[in-house]
Structure 1
Amino acid sequence: MVEAWRITGQAEIDSYVGSRVELAVQLINSLATPHAHGRGVTPPPPGADRLAAVVAAQERLTVHPPASVLTPADADRLAGIAARLRPLFAAGDHLLDAAAGLNDLLVRHHAVPNLHGSPANPLGLSFHRPDADPVDAWAADMGTALAMVIGVGQSARLGACQAERCSLVFYDTTRNASRRFCDLSCQNRAKASAYRARRRA
């Protein structure tokens, strides 16, 4: 089985980077998306509901970030970070502006390559300092991972659903970066809508 972050024939994105991009996708879709699958959605309100959404988003990942005790205030900060990361997906002609915002986020959350480890655990590369609080750590890791995807010329893989009234984002791991929809249900909705339009014409 080919891991989700390996892109055949393209510059390779390693597991750590791929997992942090997926974390960004989950947080954006949970906390900063106004439409999903043809319906308007209301992001979770601040407090316990928003924290529950963050925990649920984390549980949907195949590779989890380091265990952290998050608070409702942390979840509120992560919602703001998700909103700031969202413009990087399907940025198109606005990529330079989106990248400027990403650079600001990297500085604000003290992103820095750092080897973490202990006598009992092997050293591993992270993008945050060992003493970073959980929100800064997640923001630095997600931001750097997205910067690495963009930096190797793969920004087209940061996509947004093209179905009507769906603004969910995704990380495209197809061979030729041809994905256009968040999932099969939106793809089928778009096909049905196009078919009806042709019939009317």
Structure 2
Amino acid sequence: MTIEPGRITGQSRITGQSEIDGYVSSRVELAALLANCLTVTSAHGRPVAPARCGEERRAAISARLAEAGRPAGTFTAADADRLAEVAAELRPVFGAGPRVVEAAERLNRLLVRHGAVPNLHGAPDRPLVLAFHRPDAGLVDAWAADMGTALAMVIGVGQAARLGACQAGNCHLVFFDTTRNASRRFCDLSCQNRAKAGAYRARRRA
């Protein structure tokens, strides 16, 4: 609907297409942010300890959203615990590779469970806004439905490879690859450099 086959970002002759693509991309990036914040136990070659209880999780999510320049809104510690469950379900979708069918089945179950449905939300004197959740959905169901639908759309147009997982050793961070040829392999430059250094040392030993 919003992503043409073989394309995630770029110019289009359809007015407003870049904004539509941006909506989907922002939900995929939110899914990656939550997965990295709440599920990862190893990052940049070092062990990390994700928050384990509601208030710690709420604070961690708020901090990550603030770093990313995204409004956090109001959510509770109980919401944060439920978001951790959602993040754990979405994490395997990134870097699924040949397990993409299994990832799709996982997403289908999540979409049903959280009541995902394309919807135009309106408010007095404000433009209609597209969402993938019911107007009366709570925060967790709304986020889960929006993120799950966006991930499903990326997979559905044959771009599952853009849902990446870092390939450097001892790093389980995930990302949304928006490069032109979907060639990104690492979460950031530090892991890329670590991987190159490790490969160089291996060649020297050989």
Structure 1 length as normaliser, TM-score? 0.91
Q: Alpha-carbon deviations, 1:79-135, whole Å to 9, x = none?
A: 010010011111111110111011000000000001011122100110011110000
- 1:35 equivalent to 2:42? Answer yes
Residue in 1 aligned with 2:3? none
For 2:66 and 2:100, the matched residues in 1 are separated by 30
Unaligned runs of 5+ in 1: none
Per the alignment, in what secondary structure is the counterpart of residue 179 of structure 1?
coil
Per the alignment, in what secondary structure is the counterpart of residue 146 of structure 1?
helix
Given the alignment, which residue of 27, 30, 34 partners 1:23?
30
Mapping of residues 1-201 of structure 1, within 5 Å: 7-8=9-10, 14-62=21-69, 64=70, 68-201=73-206
Counterpart of 2:94 in structure 1: which amino acid?
Answer: F
Structure 1 segments, 4+ long, off by >3 Å, are: 8-13
Report the Cα offset of residue 9 of structure 1. Answer: 8.2
**Residue pair 1:9, 1:175 contacting (<8 A) in 2 also:** no
Q: Alpha-carbon deviations, 1:135-165, whole Å to 9, x = none?
A: 0000000000101111111111000000000
**Residue pair 1:68, 1:134 contacting (<8 A) in 2 also:** no
Unaligned runs of 5+ in 2: 1-6
Per the alignment, in what secondary structure is the counterpart of residue 14 of structure 1?
helix
Q: CA RMSD in A?
A: 1.9
Residues 187 and 9 from structure 1, CA distance in 2 versus in 1: closer, same or farther, beyond 3 angstroms?
farther
State the number of aligned residues.
195
Counterpart of 1:24 in structure 2: which amino acid?
Answer: A
Report the Cα offset of residue 41 of structure 1. Answer: 1.1
Residues 58 and 48 from structure 1, CA distance in 2 versus in 1: closer, same or farther, beyond 3 angstroms?
same
For 1:57 and 1:139, the matched residues in 2 are separated by 17
For 1:57 and 1:104, the matched residues in 2 are separated by 27
**Residue pair 1:38, 1:165 contacting (<8 A) in 2 also:** yes
